[in-house]
């Protein structure tokens, strides 16, 4: 549902408008993601609230990140990472302290930490850095809605990887949902590509511009040329 909230935020706060083709291309994508992830769901009020809140925050983050990079500030992706990483670190530490995870981390470092795990954490941090850099760069060059569509396609592709690597069993409905999601992503990409080319195409006037006062018309120019040739 992230694309839906992304459109709602963009329309409500940024006065953006999307074509009917864009809305239609999102329908198979959303339906496909639902079919691909359908299974044994359990429902609680708190779980539903946190899911909706996470979706709204993810859409808000994508829209704000795009505006910071292409709007008035024009921040570079690395500059944006430099400003956001310390805030994310402080937020993580606060929530870890509130849940009592910091004591577990200290205990783990004193008893089970090894150089192999340190190297694994370092590699994980490097991969996360490049992942965020690529994500911000793609957001800057495309749009917030395109990023949320790509996230939905990534979600179903992770199911394909799980089936291939871990031999996860999926049903017919899940497999059909994966195919529909990929089809919806292709439809959205085609719509965005065609509309981008249409916007970039120069507009030709329906009627030729009027000649300035005193200028000769094309027929008068031809008559003058013929007179000169005869003379």
Q: Which pLDDT does position 163 carry in this prediction? A: 83
Q: Which pLDDT does position 178 carry in this prediction? A: 86
The CB density around residue 182, as the number of other CB atoms within 10 Å, is 18
Distance CA 96, CA 46 (A): 20
Question: What stretches in the chain show pLDDT beneath 50?
Answer: 229-231
Q: Which pLDDT does position 121 carry in this prediction? A: 92
**Residue 25 CB contacts under 8 Å (≥ 6 apart), including other chains:** 184, 187, 188, 190, 191
Q: Where are the beta strands (DSSP E) in the chain?
A: none
Q: Indicate the pTM of the whole model.
A: 0.73
Where along the chain do its domains lie?
A: 2-200
Q: Which pLDDT does position 210 carry in this prediction? A: 61
Give, rounded to a whole angstrom, the gap between the first and last alpha carbons of the chain.
79
Q: Which pLDDT does position 112 carry in this prediction? A: 85
Distance CA 212, CA 207 (A): 15
């Amino acid at each position: 549902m992230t694309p839906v909230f992304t459109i709602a935020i963009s329309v409500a706060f940024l006065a953006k408008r999307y074509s009917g083709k864009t809305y239609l291309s999102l329908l198979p994508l959303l339906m496909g993601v639902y079919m691909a992830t359908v299974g044994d769901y359990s429902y609680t009020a708190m779980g539903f609230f946190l899911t909706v809140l996470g979706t709204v925050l993810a859409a808000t983050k994508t829209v704000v990140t795009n505006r910071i990079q292409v709007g008035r500030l024009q921040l570079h992706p690395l500059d944006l990472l430099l400003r956001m990483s310390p805030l994310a670190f402080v937020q993580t530490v606060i929530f870890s302290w509130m849940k009592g995870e910091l004591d577990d981390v200290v205990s783990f470092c004193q008893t089970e930490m090894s150089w192999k795990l340190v190297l694994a954490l370092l590699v994980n941090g490097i991969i996360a850095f490049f992942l965020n850099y690529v994500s911000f760069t793609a957001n800057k060059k495309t749009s917030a809605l395109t990023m949320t569509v790509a996230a939905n396609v990534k979600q179903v592709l992770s199911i394909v990887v799980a089936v291939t690597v871990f031999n996860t069993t999926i049903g017919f409905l899940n497999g059909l949902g994966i195919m529909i999601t990929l089809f919806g992503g292709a439809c959205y990409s085609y719509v965005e590509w065609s509309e981008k080319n249409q916007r970039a195409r120069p507009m030709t006037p329906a009627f030729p511009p009027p000649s300035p006062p005193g200028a000769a018309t094309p027929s008068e120019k031809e008559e003058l040329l013929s007179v000169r040739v005869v003379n």
